[in-house]
Amino acid sequence: MAETSSFKISASILAGDLLNLGEAIRTCERAGADMLHLDICDGHFVPTISFGEEVVRRTCQESKLPAEVHLMVSRPGDWLSRMADGGQFRMIIHVEADTRVMGILQLIEREGWKAGVAMNPETPATAVEPLLPYVDNVLIMGYAPGFAGQPLLDYTYIKTEDVRALIEKTGSSATITVDGGVKAGNARQLVEAGADILVVSSGMFSHENPDESLNEIRRMVAGE
């Protein structure tokens, strides 16, 4: 069973008030998020459009929290120049988004960002094995990407165990993120399955007390 005490929470602003992003960022900070998760939806790789490079740039200026950008976009390579000077963050691209993901991950590293690879629910764990030398993070979607607030697919636990086994087999030091559907009620099981980072959005913004929501998740993971 995985160590449960060192996991981190990455707060996504997607379920926050997009007309009041500054306040959404401050909610993440007050709640004690370890990092910010910025979801870019392009209306092509996923059916929705969220926000783009200017919001990423402003968010990185506004908050001291480390950030990760989850690019749910087709042709992720085109986004690298758009993101130049946007700040220091982990850039996460989808393994399904391009046929040249390995090369794009190498470019991301060369530009000085951390690189992560994300996978949709239908994508088998083995799809990321050849990419492990080029990433510091694997993001497992808990449901089909594009919308916050959906329920976690049960299959996610087994997939997390499978990715953890691949990471151990290959000697990779990549961390595992589970993104989508994370709530206080399933967080412990996800960390036990091997998740290092949990993304939380509606579990915080739709909570009766957002400032306390992440503490509640931490208590549940600790078994308190």
> Which residues here bind Zn ion, judged by CB under 5 A?
39, 70, 179
Only segment of 55-63, 78-86, 174-182, 186-194 that touches ligand DX5 (CB under 6 A) = 174-182
Judged by beta carbon, residue 48 or residue 106, the one nearer ligand DX5 is: 48
Token pair 């042709």 is at which residue?
Answer: 75
Which residue from 146, 159, 175, 194 is in contact with ligand DX5, where contact means CB under 6 A?
146
Residue 200 binds ligand DX5 (CB under 6 A): yes
Residue whose entry in the numeric block shows the structure tokens 């503490």: 215
Q: Which long-range contacts (CB under 8 A, 24 or more apart) does 96-103 make?
A: 96/45, 96/120, 96/123, 97/45, 97/71, 97/73, 98/74, 101/76, 101/131, 102/130, 102/131, 102/134, 103/77
| Residue 210 near which of ligand DX5, Zn ion, none (CB within 5-8 Å, type-dependent) | none
Binds 148, which of Zn ion, ligand DX5, none (CB < 5 to 8 A, cut-off by type)? ligand DX5
Compute the least distance from the CB of residue 46 to ligand DX5, in Å: 7
- Contact status, residue 53 vs residue 79, Cβ threshold 8 Å: yes
Nearest approach, Cβ of residue 184 and Zn ion (Å): 19
